[in-house]
Structure 1
Amino acid sequence: MSCVVWNARGLGNQRAFRELKRLIAEKDPSLIFISESKLRDYQCNWWKSVLGFSGLFAVSCQGRSGGLILLWKDPLDVMIHSYSSGHIYCSVNHVGKKWRFTGFYGSPEACSRHLSWDLLRRLHNLSNLKGLPWLVGGDFNEICYDEEKSGGNLRPLAQTQAFRDVLDDCSLQDLHVRGEFYTWVNRRAAAATIFERLDRYVATFD
C-alpha cells in the first residue's frame, strides 16, 4: 500500500481538482491526506465515489484558510480518534496489522507553532493507542536544520530546536527523502527565491 500527503493550497477550482486526480492516478494511494483544502466538510462528501475511495473524513476550513481531508480505500479499516484544524488522528487496520496515522498541518504562524508541538505530544501519549506503530505525515511548516532551507534569513535556533525536541519526545524519526528535497518555494524572482523542506513523513521505529 502507499500513502500520500499533499498541501493543496486550495481545491475549490477545476485546475486543482485535476491535479488531485493526476496525483491519485500516478501514485495510486491507499490513503491520502490533504491539507489546506480551503473547503467546508460537506463540499467533499461526493469525492469518495468520484475518486474511487471507500472512506472519507473532512475537517472544515476556517474562513478562507485551512481545511483537512482524509481519504482511504478498501481493505483499509480506518477509525478516527481525534481531529482539529491541524490534524486528523486515526488507527488503521490493514490485513490484520494495526498502526496509527496522523495527517498533520503545523501552525503557519511561528508564534503559535508550540501549540502544534504540544498537540503531537498529547497524541503520542494517548494510552489506548500508544503501543501501535505511528506514522505522521503532512506540512509541519517548519524545518529541522538550516540545511533544509535555501535562500533568505536563517531560522532562529530555538525555533528549529523546538521541532527537533518534539520529534525526540515522541520517538519520531524522519524518513529519508527520495527525489526533490525541497517541498516549498516562494516563487519570487531569482535573487529572492527561497526553498524549504516543510512537508515530510516521520515515524516511530517499529
Structure 2
Amino acid sequence: MANHLACLITSTKAHVIFVLETRTSKISKTQLINRFLVKDSHVVPATGQSGVLWLMWNDEVDLNIVSSSLHLILTKPSNKLYNVVCIYGDRHHCRTNEIWEEVSHFVLLYSDIPTFCMGDLNNIMHVNEKCGPTTANAARIRNFYCLVKSCGFFDSGYNGPVYTWTNKRFATNPTFQRLDRCLANAAWCTTFPRTAVFHMPMLYSDHAHQF
C-alpha cells in the first residue's frame, strides 16, 4: 500500500488512518473510499519528489479538514470529540518552525478539545533517540523540544522497538532514529487516559508503522 509510514487512531468503533509518502499519486479520494471501505478521505497531492498524504476515517468519526499542505493536515470534528493533527515534518528542517507555528495556533485555539498529533515529525526530542555514526544535532533537538512544548503536547510514549526509521545502510554503519511519534494535549490525556502507541517492525519500509 505505501512506501512510508502509516498511523492509526482506533477505539472500539472509530478509526482514523494517516498514510505518508505513498508515492502513489494517481489514487483519488473516491478510490480510497472504495478501496478501504471508509466513510471519507482527504488526499494531499505530491509536490516534486515528496509523496502523497492520505487521511481516511470511518462512519464513527466526523472529521472536517481545517487546512492541509505538503507537511500538515489539521482536522476539527463537528461533534467536538477530538481534533487530529497529522504531520509530515520537513526532512531538510527549513520549514520546521513554520509548520509548528501553525500547529501551535490551531491547538491553542481549541485547547479545551482533546487533540492527538501523529506522523513522521522528522525530528528527535532526545539525543538517545538516535543511534549511528554521527551525533545528534543538539541545537535542533532543543528547538524541536521547545516547539512541541509550546503546543502543550505530551509524548504519548510507545510499545515495541525504540527506533522508527533507518537509512538501511546495513552493509556499513546504519543510522536509526525515532522520527515518528504520537503526541497529545492535556485534554486528550484526561479524556483518553488509556491511550497506547505501538511501533511495528520495519518490514517493507524504512519507517515503522504506528498504531
Aligned position for 2:191: none
User: Which 4+ stretches in 1 moved above 4 angstroms?
Assistant: none
Q: Tell me the CA shift for residue 97 of structure 1.
A: 5.6
**Is the 1:140–1:199 contact (alpha carbons within 8 Å) kept by the matching residues of 2?**
yes
Give the secondary structure class of the aligned counterpart of 2:95: helix
Using the alignment, how far apart are the partners of 1:97 and 1:112 within structure 2?
Answer: 30
Using the alignment, how far apart are the partners of 1:133 and 1:123 within structure 2?
Answer: 12
Equivalent residue in structure 1 for 2:87, among 104, 115, 136: 104
**Is the 2:116–2:185 contact (alpha carbons within 8 Å) kept by the matching residues of 1?**
yes
Using the alignment, how far apart are the partners of 1:185 and 1:10 within structure 2?
Answer: 12
Aligned position for 1:9: 3
| Bigger relative contact order, structure 1 or 2 (CA pairs below 8 A, ≥6 apart) | 2
Amino acid aligned to 1:33: F
| RMSD of aligned residue pairs (Cα, Å) | 2.5
**Is the 1:41–1:59 contact (alpha carbons within 8 Å) kept by the matching residues of 2?**
no
Answer yes or no: is 1:92 the counterpart of 2:77.
yes
Q: Tell me the CA shift for residue 57 of structure 1.
A: 0.7
Q: Deviations over 1:87-131 (max 9, x none)?
A: 1111236xx661110111110102332222223223224x3x332
Using the alignment, how far apart are the partners of 1:118 and 1:97 within structure 2?
Answer: 23
Q: Tell me the CA shift for residue 67 of structure 1.
A: 1.8
Answer yes or no: is 1:119 the counterpart of 2:102.
yes
Amino acid aligned to 1:80: I
Unaligned runs of 5+ in 1: 1-5, 12-19
Using the alignment, how far apart are the partners of 2:52 and 2:133 within structure 1?
Answer: 29
**Is the 2:118–2:181 contact (alpha carbons within 8 Å) kept by the matching residues of 1?**
yes
Aligned position for 1:149: 130
Aligned position for 1:37: 22
Aligned position for 2:40: 55
> What number of residue pairs does the alignment pair up?
182
Using the alignment, how far apart are the partners of 1:156 and 1:53 within structure 2?
Answer: 41
Using the alignment, how far apart are the partners of 1:63 and 1:191 within structure 2?
Answer: 30
The percentage of counterpart residues that share the same residue type is 27
Q: Which structure has more strand as a fraction of its residues?
A: 1
Using the alignment, how far apart are the partners of 2:178 and 2:134 within structure 1?
Answer: 15
> Taking structure 2 as the reference length, what is the TM-score of the superposition?
0.77
Give the secondary structure class of the aligned counterpart of 1:45: helix
Q: Which moved more, 1:69-78 or 1:110-119?
A: 110-119
